[in-house]
């Protein structure tokens, strides 16, 4: 359905995330992946969704010179927001362990911002999902890190993996958002370009 609406456009996803790529495939959208390294640094005065909004727009700005008149660019950024701090991707095993230890038995927010852009139009939006973890033992955290190596994931976990089955007590909001993209909102906003 969306493929037909967008047939005059080429959709460009500026993300190497297999999860985001899979979501677009499941929406039946034809797209190409186009990557450009962006240093993900943001002002330390930003909080929560301000961070992901800033980074999604920063990623889009870096791609604009490659965009044609008939292309729609999609960029995205996700953080775990916990106790007033952004938890991005861990720097190493110890950092990942510390992140999961601090999330254990508590509620955090997963915030994703998406920027959808053409040369003439920009749609920037975000989604926040609250996730409550069961209490995890050190052995469970080590098992997860050793077997799933979630070092490319914000907050050091992937909800679609083992930890999502054993550690998630409650989710308030979009499950897809926790995986990496609020797909329902992406669909709605992409439909506006048709």
Q: Which residues pair with 131 in a beta bridge?
A: 108, 171
C-alpha to C-alpha distance for 112 and 179, rounded to whole angstroms: 10
Q: Distance between CA atoms of 61 and 128, rounded to whole angstroms?
A: 23
Cα radius of gyration (the chain): 17
What span, in angstroms and rounded, lies between the C-alpha atoms of 164 and 1?
31
69 in catalytic set: no
Tokens of 11: 């959709």
Active-site residue, selected from the candidate residues 53, 70, 77, 146: 77
Torsion-angle region of 24 (φ positive above 0: left; ψ -120 to 50: alpha; else: beta): alpha
Scan for tokens 């609406």, then name that residue.
Answer: 5
Query: How many of the other CB atoms lie within 10 Å of CB of 135?
Result: 10
Q: CA 124 to CA 122: how far, in whole Å?
A: 6
Active site residues: 77
């Amino acid at each position: 359905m969306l493929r037909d609406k967008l047939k005059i456009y080429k959709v460009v996803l500026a993300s190497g995330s297999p999860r985001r790529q899979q979501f677009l495939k499941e929406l039946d959208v034809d797209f190409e992946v186009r990557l450009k390294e962006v240093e993900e640094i943001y002002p330390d005065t930003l909080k929560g969704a301000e961070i992901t909004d800033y980074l999604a727009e920063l990623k889009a700005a870096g791609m604009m010179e490659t965009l044609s008149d008939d292309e729609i660019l999609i960029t995205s950024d996700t953080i775990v927001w916990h106790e007033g701090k952004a938890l991005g991707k861990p720097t190493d095993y110890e950092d990942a362990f510390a992140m999961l230890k601090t999330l254990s038995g508590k509620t955090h927010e997963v915030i994703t911002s998406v920027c959808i852009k053409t040369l003439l139009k920009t749609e920037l939006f975000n989604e926040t999902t609250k996730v409550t973890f069961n209490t995890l033992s050190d052995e469970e955290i080590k098992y997860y890190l050793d077997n799933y190596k979630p070092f490319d994931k914000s907050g050091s976990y992937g909800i679609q993996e083992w930890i999502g089955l054993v550690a998630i007590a409650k989710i308030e909001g979009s499950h897809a958002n926790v995986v990496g993209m609020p797909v329902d909102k992406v669909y709605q906003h992409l439909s506006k370009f048709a």
